[in-house]
Structure 1
Amino acid sequence: MRLAWRFALREMRGGLSGFVIFLLCITLGVGAIAAVNSVASMMSEGIAREGKAILGGDLRFQLVQRERTPEEATYIDGLGEMSQTAGLRSMIRLADGSDQSLAEVKAVDEAYPLYGSVDTTPPIALETLLEERNGRYGAVAAQELYDRLDIAPGAIVRLGDAEIELTGVLNREPDILSDGFVFAPRLMMSRAGLDASGLIQPGSLVEYDWRVKLPAGSDPEAIAEEARQAFPTAGFRVRTSDDAAPSLQRNIERFSQFLTLVGLTALIVGGVGVANAVRAYLDGKRPVIASFKSLGAAGRLVVLVYLLQIMALATVGVAMGLVLGAIAPFVTARFLESVIPVSASASFYPGALLIAAIFGFLTALTFALLPLGQTRDIAATALFRDAGATASGRLRWTYVIMTGVLALCIAGLAIFMARDKEIALIFLAGTAAAFVILRFVAAGVMALARRAPRVSSTPLRLALGNIHRPGALTSSVVLSLGLGLTLLVTLAIIDYDLRQEVGTGLAGRAPNFFFVDIQNNEIDEFRRTVEETAPNSTLDAVPMLRGRITHLGDQDVATMEIPEEGGWVLRGDRGVTYAAEEPANSTLTAGQWWPSDHDGPPLVSFADEEARELGLEIGQTITVNVLGRSITAEIANFRAIEWEDLSINFVMVFSPNTFAGAPHAWLATLTLDDGGADRSGVDVTEREKSIVNTLTNAFPAVTTVRVKDALDAVNQLIAQLALAIRVAAGVALVASVLVLAGALAAGNRARVHDAVVLKTLGATRATLIKAFATEYALLGLATGIFAIAAGAAASWFVVDQVMTLPYRFDWTVALTTLVVSLVLTVGFGLAGTWRILGQKAAPVLRNL
């Protein structure tokens, strides 16, 4: 080892020409992984650090559709300082009834907030802004609500049956992240003001929260468990500050996993560049290696000398990548604070950097072993004699096995880190399959070139010969460019399909409106008003309650490990309904529907896909807590549901006798005739606005959700995701470009020999340029076609099988990919060729 290290250091003094691509590939991949995981760690630490402010307390008790009982109130109030809020969605109307907007209404008490602070304009006490003046309660609203209604602070608006005065702008509320998905602007008011509006009725969809600030030294987890034991059938959802924003945390983990896998792909693509650089470097060191062996050096010493050099360079590349990853949190902190209202305190995250470093070293070692192994057993005579060609020798199985073990280590580490191990396994399997398939594609291109009929065009004949000759660049070019372009096509088509489905597909199939909180005594009048306002349209209405699954059979959901697939059904409250007849928009897949006059034990129909994911069976029981009452029902059948059409669907539909006498409201959808097109020529938007005005003024307590507005909110989220996806795809493409440049540079030594011999035999520079350009164009065309086919297959799997959305192939992506592949291969190829064609013939011919 000491001797090898001395030789390695001495050789490195002479320069390491050709390793720029090597360093850039390692730096890019390591930097991407380190940056993603460092930023994710920063966000997770921010959520954990501000957990109390995000949750609004040390403990949070939540109920839907009912307030706490006196016994429950006594228990909660005795835990410590308490603050109560109530939240619901409702319509904010202008005083003259000419316009309205959906808002997320939040009623708070004098103790709010227990942790953190509310930022308003003007910056005065929240209690003052919300107090009653001249018979009207005050409220503050997000700027978006002012913009939607084209009003300013000081305006008088209507909420339910009450007039309220908008006294300020709500800039920031500390606990908004713990309130779940919010797609309408916030309006914050006092509880007295909400009570005056008349919106809270029996069965109304209201979420009640009690936040508790515990005395110092208390154990929130222990108290939460005690509360669950004390009120097992109350239906409370109890959370601690350690679980302040679980949905956001899961999304951060999932997205960081996706970006880490993309970064790992970029690193693996860069590994091809590592292999090319090592191979080219060793090819240039053939005389030195021959000298080593002539002087009696063993093959393992030669391998060790150059392995030490390569790993020393890998250390430099990893270090540069870690620097990029380390500064990423400092660069992105302010941007993330504008997107997610959590204070991002940037720091260094050793765990994230260590993981990236391990990936970097493993990748460098994996892709360097095979080129090193090819050099080990080449005789010194062959090295001297074959000075003008690429080195090739038999490869010992030891190196193949070691390379395989290292590759498995990379895959194992990636799977171990992943939250969703199945997705990580599929991703890595797809990458490995792409490697193998690209090898076959390269072999196929070479075989076609070898069997092509003889052509009269000299440039074309030379191009075909260059594609299949020994030491051809075909394999390197196809592999390096193919992986990056395949990933680019896959991500681009997924992005396209998501946008098409949300922007066009869903908009065409979905109803125009959802109506929530239609009271029992209003449903008949509501139907008549809709018929008068929107004749020939379709109104579907069903009763709705909210409930939380507490037990699957005898298993307590609170103590079970919730599965990744289907687990969303068990998290939080779900809408439930009852029906005597089978819903028209679903199909039974197992079991039988109950008789319309069923009067026996409660029965339930469960969504088929979710039931299979949770391992449920016909005849099994589930327990649901509704309005503080635990109801156990037997699963009578499974239904296949088309969630994608946004019609009224429920995971659970109960037999009508289950909720006899329970207070509840109704949920309805309205689909305008001809999909919302008005034959009279009235603009669709104006017609929808007129319908909403009429219904909102007639039924002020009914919440109207315009589906287009909800889809616009989803589109904004997709746009933010798409930006990250494009950045990730760009990283992979940059890695491919670097590898392509390295592959072409690695072949320059042999190309110099070819160009000089051909020029000596009479070939002109124009002929050679045409030949090389034709070769690169053919390789780029073949690679682009493969990338389109492979990317289409991969995106189909993700969109159709994983997301279960309609798949659409975008030919714009396909043509763009072809153009990119041709420009890159021809451009980089000719850039290197131009320098080659200027080489003097004498020095090259003298060494043949």
Structure 2
Amino acid sequence: MAWRDGKASSRKLVLFMASIILGIAAVVSIQSFGVNLKENIALQSKAMMGADFKIDMEDPPEPEILEIMDSLGGAQAKEIGFVSMAAFPGNQGTKLVRVRGIAGSFPFYGDLETDPPQAAKDWNQKDVALLDATTMLQLDLKPGDSIKIGAVTLPIAGALVNIPGSNSFFSSIAPPALIPYRLIEATGLIQTGSRIDYEFYFKADPAMDLEKLDTDLDPVLDTFDADLDTHTSTSERLGRRYENFGKFLNLVAFIALLLGCVGIASAINIYIKGKLRSVAVLKCLGATKKQSFLIYLLQISGMGFFGGLIGTITGLLLQQLFPYLLEDLLPVDIQMSFSLEVIIMGLLLGILMSVLFALIPLTGTLYISPLQALRVQKYAGKKKGKTELGILGGIFLFILLFSFWLLKDWRYSFGFVFGIIITFSILAGLAKVFIKMIRRYFPTTWGFPARQSLQNLFRPQNQTLTLVLAIGVGTFLISTLYFTKDILLAQASIDAQGNSPNMILLDVQTGQESQVSEVISTSGNRVLDDIPIVTMRVQSIEGRNVNEIRQDSASNINGWILSHEFRVTYRDNLIDSEVLAQGEWIPRVKDRDLIPISVSDNFAEDAEVEIGDAISFNVQGVIMNTEVRSIRTVDWSRLQPNFSIVFPAGILEEAPQFRVITAKVQDETASADLQQELVKLFPNISILDLRQILSVVEDILNKIAWLINFMAFFSIFTGIIVLLGAVRTSKFQRIKESVLLRTMGARSGQILKILALEYLYLGLLGGLSGILLSLISSQLLAWLLFNAPFAPSLFPFLVLFPAITLLVMLIGLTNSISVIKSPPLEVLRKENNG
């Protein structure tokens, strides 16, 4: 019976199966890609690091660390790395690069890829350099051209296509330049304040337990300010980083699926209402409540199964596009495969979501009396009300459990479910308020088409609520994504703030600052700040030595506080990016016995210190005792030097230090000319051109936003499918209206105008609701999460809103045009026969 009845009604349900297909395709594609990415990172973890494990530090290794490395068999390769400006004498160009001086046969795994290939074989035995391939293209360099790093000038042997251990994002800002280890000292760039990384690479014995090595050795190395990284721990950390991004995309896809389920519930509601007389007739013929219920439950389950099957296949095919879409953001080359777990999930999800969201209208068949075959009567009652509450509870429990499976965190899962409830409730509430306002303040003076189109919004079996939800959620998602991207870009914008620097000069040595400032001023640019920086480490907190705190398993002080080498400044005033949160700002002191300092709120939280607590610092062998006298809130998002710790003036002036100079440069041409001049005169200085950094950040944000928008459009497409299905399902209702109106003398043009206005109202209401809701959510994100001003993008208003409104009108009219053109009796015969 389920099969026979389903075949006769297949046209009414096929579009709603399409909404399930789209939602499941979105979830399956993201899930499957996430599984593949995790597996590929694990498989290629050695090639990404280039070794089994490494030991790294920021200072030359102490004798104790050398002994530990000897006990491990000794490092098979070593590296000194730092960021510096490189000059290219052949074309007068300059570039901030990551200098990597390597000795030994690194990498042990993976390939050092160069162009030409032979450059990778013997570069380390010659006095040559390898330079990032993209940089060579940008600066029009060829093998044989020269690169000048500090006091050393070397020929470029080849373009560096790939090397293990490079971070793709950082390489965009400071691309790698490889030189032999023995030439590092000759550059003259290892000076006071320079941030140097010392790395030692190891190839482990196959029997070595790297996890045990990490557990046992890493705490020992921490006491000497060194760190151990194994290829497995690095891959796990990298996997978690990309997993968080995947979780967000999963939620976007899941919302598309939920939206499709709203369409399913609406479709089944109208579908079952049309079947009530058939159910009543079946009961007159002796069918039980259970039998009539199972007939339609089997139909919905079958629809869910086939929707899940087609959606899963579509999702598995769709995932093949992701490596191309994310090519520049992925840490490894992805070899795609199919996960059995994800396939089973897609199939089960199709059945579960279809059945769950169809249960409320399906329960209506249980309460139909045989008398329904003779007259129309309501079938609601107390029992049905309790059943519906139970089903709603089951739906939200399933959403909670499934979101937990995606996020692996109950707090986020409850937050997601709460956000879904709030979003859907607000959109539904707006639709109901709109309908109530129309009824209360009905424009009786309007013309007939306008009045009739408004009345259609609250007629029996209307689709106003479903369509507003479908259109609103899709619009809300895409608008929020655009607004959020604008917030992030506005935070990073350096041109929006007239007094913000767009160039930062690092590692300016004492005595050079006046000459550097003069060069900047002479070139017609403006020096903004000359900031002194002193390096130091925490020696003790509240009288407890850092080694004692490390060994205390009950301590909650964050590890970075104990091992970090802090870059600290001194001054007598707060700056624009700081706000005094607690305590008293002390501008200048003379007494060195107990120095009042100011710390950032995140330092205070991680170090568990308050106003009045004592902290001792080791300032390059000299112990300084300080007291926390103020706590500042720092806007770290601003592209300018900010500090966790600030000393008052009068204390650190004689300490070994270097300077950071910030400048405001007129334009890109002036920036290039100034960089060439500074690198020629001061090769030790590293220059950050914030315009270049911003362009890299913006490019990455645009790529991520493109992918997120791609997933968000699943919601829009699902909403379109729901819209198509809702129009088709309520088509018979419109046919009766059309026949009645035409019998009363209405012309086809008037009926077309009525329908066009009705869909215009639905598009306007759904689109506007979604955009307004996204404005509120984006403002909250700006306040609570990003702590930044919010300036809405015009794209949702000028493009998205009118496009969705026109799309709704087009779909509505396209589906209704056949009803308008055909004679009333012909249409009725077709519907009755169908």
Same fold, judged at TM 0.5 (above): yes
Partner of 1:90: 84
Residues 755-806 of structure 1 deviation map (CA, whole Å, 9 limit, x = unaligned): 1222222222222111121222122222222122112112222233222222
Whether contact under 8 Å (1:366, 1:406) holds in the other structure is yes
Q: 1:222 to 1:627 in 2, by over 3 A?
A: farther
Whether contact under 8 Å (2:150, 2:684) holds in the other structure is yes
Structure 1 residue 562: deviation in Å? 13
DSSP 3-state at the match of 1:637? strand
> Is 2:568 the counterpart of 1:577?
yes
Higher deviation after alignment, 143-152 or 548-557: 548-557
2:35 to 41, 47, 70: 41
Determine the C-alpha separation between the residues in 1 that align with 2:401 and 2:590: 57
> Is 2:93 the counterpart of 1:110?
no
Q: 1:741 to 1:714 in 2, by over 3 A?
A: same
Partner of 2:266: 276
Higher deviation after alignment, 825-834 or 606-615: 606-615
Higher deviation after alignment, 401-410 or 260-269: 401-410
Structure 1 residue 422: deviation in Å? 5.0
Q: 1:487 to 1:9 in 2, by over 3 A?
A: same
Partner of 2:748: 765
Which amino acid is the alignment partner of residue 249 of structure 1?
G
Structure 1 residue 153: deviation in Å? 1.2
Structure 1 residue 738: deviation in Å? 0.9
How many residues are paired up? 822
Partner of 1:311: 301
1:214 to 204, 208, 228: 204
Which amino acid is the alignment partner of residue 757 of structure 1?
L
Which amino acid is the alignment partner of residue 202 of structure 1?
T
Determine the C-alpha separation between the residues in 2 that align with 1:608 and 1:744: 56
Whether contact under 8 Å (2:265, 2:357) holds in the other structure is yes
> Is 2:244 the counterpart of 1:224?
no
Residues 376-433 of structure 1 deviation map (CA, whole Å, 9 limit, x = unaligned): 213233355349xxx8744331232222222222123314532676555444323211
- Which runs of 5 or more residues in structure 1 are unaligned? 1-6, 677-683
Whether contact under 8 Å (2:123, 2:157) holds in the other structure is yes
Partner of 2:593: 600
Determine the C-alpha separation between the residues in 2 that align with 1:550 and 1:834: 80
Partner of 1:681: none
Residues 167-224 of structure 1 deviation map (CA, whole Å, 9 limit, x = unaligned): 1010111222499665222211111122221111233111111121122211223223
DSSP 3-state at the match of 1:176? coil
Structure 1 residue 122: deviation in Å? 1.4
2:579 to 587, 595, 606: 587
Higher deviation after alignment, 151-160 or 802-811: 802-811
Whether contact under 8 Å (2:150, 2:189) holds in the other structure is yes
DSSP 3-state at the match of 1:649? coil
Q: 1:157 to 1:581 in 2, by over 3 A?
A: same
Which amino acid is the alignment partner of residue 631 of structure 2?
F
Q: 1:536 to 1:188 in 2, by over 3 A?
A: closer
Partner of 1:494: 484
Whether contact under 8 Å (1:550, 1:625) holds in the other structure is no
Partner of 1:32: 26
2:675 to 687, 692, 710: 692
DSSP 3-state at the match of 2:86? strand
DSSP 3-state at the match of 2:663? strand
Partner of 2:15: 21
Determine the C-alpha separation between the residues in 1 that align with 2:600 and 2:560: 10
Q: 1:346 to 1:489 in 2, by over 3 A?
A: same
DSSP 3-state at the match of 1:103? strand
Partner of 2:292: 302
Q: What is the TM-score normalised by the length of structure 2?
A: 0.90
DSSP 3-state at the match of 1:755? helix
Q: 1:355 to 1:88 in 2, by over 3 A?
A: farther
Structure 1 residue 666: deviation in Å? 2.9
Q: 1:691 to 1:364 in 2, by over 3 A?
A: same
- Which runs of 5 or more residues in structure 2 are unaligned? none
Q: 1:53 to 1:570 in 2, by over 3 A?
A: farther
Whether contact under 8 Å (2:427, 2:770) holds in the other structure is no
Query: What aligned pairs does 1:509-520 form with structure 2 within 5 A after superposition?
Result: 510-520=500-510
Determine the C-alpha separation between the residues in 1 that align with 2:411 and 2:660: 37
DSSP 3-state at the match of 1:701? coil
Whether contact under 8 Å (1:523, 1:666) holds in the other structure is yes
Determine the C-alpha separation between the residues in 1 that align with 2:374 and 2:660: 84
Which amino acid is the alignment partner of residue 94 of structure 1?
F
Higher deviation after alignment, 84-93 or 802-811: 802-811
Whether contact under 8 Å (2:42, 2:236) holds in the other structure is no
Q: What is the TM-score normalised by the length of structure 1?
A: 0.88
Which amino acid is the alignment partner of residue 587 of structure 1?
V
Determine the C-alpha separation between the residues in 1 that align with 2:335 and 2:396: 36
Query: What aligned pairs does 1:264-413 form with structure 2 within 5 A after superposition?
Result: 264-333=254-323, 336=326, 339-357=329-347, 359-386=349-376, 393-394=380-381, 395-413=384-402
Structure 1 residue 314: deviation in Å? 0.5
> Is 2:794 the counterpart of 1:808?
no
Whether contact under 8 Å (1:93, 1:101) holds in the other structure is yes
Structure 1 residue 435: deviation in Å? 1.6
Structure 1 residue 807: deviation in Å? 0.4
DSSP 3-state at the match of 1:653? strand
Determine the C-alpha separation between the residues in 2 that align with 1:454 and 1:35: 51
Determine the C-alpha separation between the residues in 1 that align with 2:205 and 2:655: 38
Whether contact under 8 Å (1:549, 1:557) holds in the other structure is no
Whether contact under 8 Å (1:161, 1:700) holds in the other structure is yes
Whether contact under 8 Å (1:602, 1:657) holds in the other structure is no
Q: 1:375 to 1:662 in 2, by over 3 A?
A: farther
DSSP 3-state at the match of 2:104? coil
Determine the C-alpha separation between the residues in 2 that align with 1:656 and 1:246: 45
Higher deviation after alignment, 10-19 or 266-275: 10-19
Higher deviation after alignment, 486-495 or 702-711: 486-495
Higher deviation after alignment, 270-279 or 496-505: 496-505
Which amino acid is the alignment partner of residue 579 of structure 2?
T
DSSP 3-state at the match of 1:305? helix
Determine the C-alpha separation between the residues in 2 that align with 1:206 and 1:488: 43
Residues 271-302 of structure 1 deviation map (CA, whole Å, 9 limit, x = unaligned): 11111221233234334312222123333432
Partner of 1:3: none
